[in-house]
Structure 1
Amino acid sequence: MMEQTPPSNQQTLATDGFRLHPEDEAAIRVEASHYEQPQAACIEALKIVQRRHGWVPDDAIPAIARVLGVGPASVEGVATFYSLIFRQPVGRHVILVCDSSSCFLTGSDQLRQNLSGRLGIELGETTADNRFTLLPVCCLGACDGAPAMMIDDEVYGPVGADDLADVLERYP
């Protein structure tokens, strides 16, 4: 089987006005080098771009695809499938409220309402100061701590109304 490697042409960086940061392109190439098929690095490539920008702009999709040597539709498919790849701008901190069966039965709807009231936003919205974005997620895998929520990479649960002020204060 012939080994595929991503193209190394520096001109692949710019696409529709979007330019991958050289460090990001290098990191994507390193990730791709770990796999027989460069497309396997697609999730990591999206995460690399998201770490720098806070989200993955539409114009980043063809830029990532060119570095990986795959079609934009392949990257788009991965980007739209995973709920932790953000396709529009989000706040500095993203709060994910689990709405799985376990969390729902133990009060995730009340948790969401408490967060909405405290932050002044609904699901899918960002606070005016760009501090928080509130989003639903179908499962955090934290059923033993239901109802659960995640802020950035930290999972909290069970979370009651009395816990919210202390938890939110940790995220300036």
Structure 2
Amino acid sequence: MSGHEFQSHFEVSGDVDHTDKSTNLTEENVQEMRYILDRYPQPRSAIMPMLHYVQSVDGRISPAGVKVTAELVGVSEAQVNGVATFYTMYKRRPAGKQHVGVCVTSLCAIMGGDYILDACEKHLGIKAGETTPDGSVSLEAVECNAACDFAPVMMVNWEFMDNMTPDTAVELIDKLRADEPVQSTRGATITSWKEAERVLAGFSDGRADEGPTAGHASLTGLNIAAEKGWSAPDPANLPAPEPKQEEQK
């Protein structure tokens, strides 16, 4: 690792691609977007789940999706565009059937995240931020997946794949492209990126309790406390704080 320098993988993806006017949105989809809107007391709060819904239908943030969202919420298209281009979970270009993210922030990088990303790029023949020509996989370099205790980590459609290596990453990609069953390390069986986006929009797929939600590393402290009989203080019966001593002049 001598001489290795950490690289930032943040890239400016630009605005929504307004040259591609295609959309799969139907009146039935618009009705479901109205259902999302009705769940929020403040209409603007519905923008983010509605954009996830647009992605579940169009595979990206489409101009038509931006327009419908703006009309339903009662804001300008520019305001919706502002949200869509601020968060990296919203894609300006079509994502793949399976969306793979590789964490490359400090701890994951130290544990091999950069090598995993490099292996994925070479195996898929694309760079981070691109989608394979057959549309099967899109690849992203993620700045922290918030799972440092399982580094290096990847995500498939926002589901965790823990303690990865370049070899297991390539094996995972091959299974995804062959439509073989893939189980998240701490979550549900992998379906597709569009289906995951529909869940993020607020529609249950019945998989919320499928698979473990925590792993051994995250539970270590809890397990030690149970073995030793430790417990947190009763907040209703905390000891009185010691009186402060006056400073001597």
What band does the TM-score fall into relative to the shorter chain? 0.7 to 0.9
What is the Cα deviation at residue 162 of structure 1?
Answer: 2.4
CA deviation profile, 1:128-164 (whole Å, cap 9, x unmatched): 2221111112121111111111111321121102212
What is the Cα deviation at residue 166 of structure 1?
Answer: 3.1
CA deviation profile, 1:3-60 (whole Å, cap 9, x unmatched): xxxxxxxxxxxxx776742222122212211222111000110011100111111332
Q: How does 1:133-148 map to 2 (within 5 A)?
A: 133-148=138-153
| Alignment match, 1:43 | 48
Check if 1:152 corresponds to 2:157: yes
Which structure has the greater CA radius of gyration?
2
What is the Cα deviation at residue 80 of structure 1?
Answer: 1.1
1:36 counterpart letter in structure 2? P
Alignment TM-score, normalising by the size of structure 1: 0.82
State the SS of the aligned residue for 1:45.
helix
| Alignment match, 2:77 | 72
Taking structure 1 as reference, are residues 64 and 151 closer, same or farther at Cα in structure 2, changes over 3 Å only? same
Taking structure 1 as reference, are residues 63 and 110 closer, same or farther at Cα in structure 2, changes over 3 Å only? same
State the SS of the aligned residue for 1:170.
helix
Task: Work out whether residues 96 and 149 of structure 1, in 8 Å CA contact, stay in contact via their aligned partners in 2.
Answer: yes
Q: How does 1:115-126 map to 2 (within 5 A)?
A: 115-126=120-131
Report which stretch shifted further, 155-164 or 47-56: 155-164
Task: Work out whether residues 20 and 63 of structure 1, in 8 Å CA contact, stay in contact via their aligned partners in 2.
Answer: no
* 5+ long unaligned stretches in structure 1: 1-15
* 5+ long unaligned stretches in structure 2: 1-20, 178-249
| Alignment match, 1:63 | 68
Q: Distance in 2 between matches of 1:91 and 1:19?
A: 16
Alignment TM-score, normalising by the size of structure 2: 0.58
Runs of 4+ in structure 1 displaced over 4 angstroms?
16-19
What percent of counterpart residues are identical? 32
Name whichever structure is richer in strand by fraction. 1
Aligned length: 157
Instruction: Identify which of 78, 85, 91 aligns with 2:96.
Output: 91
| Alignment match, 1:32 | 37
Name whichever structure is richer in helix by fraction. 1
What is the Cα deviation at residue 170 of structure 1?
Answer: 3.2
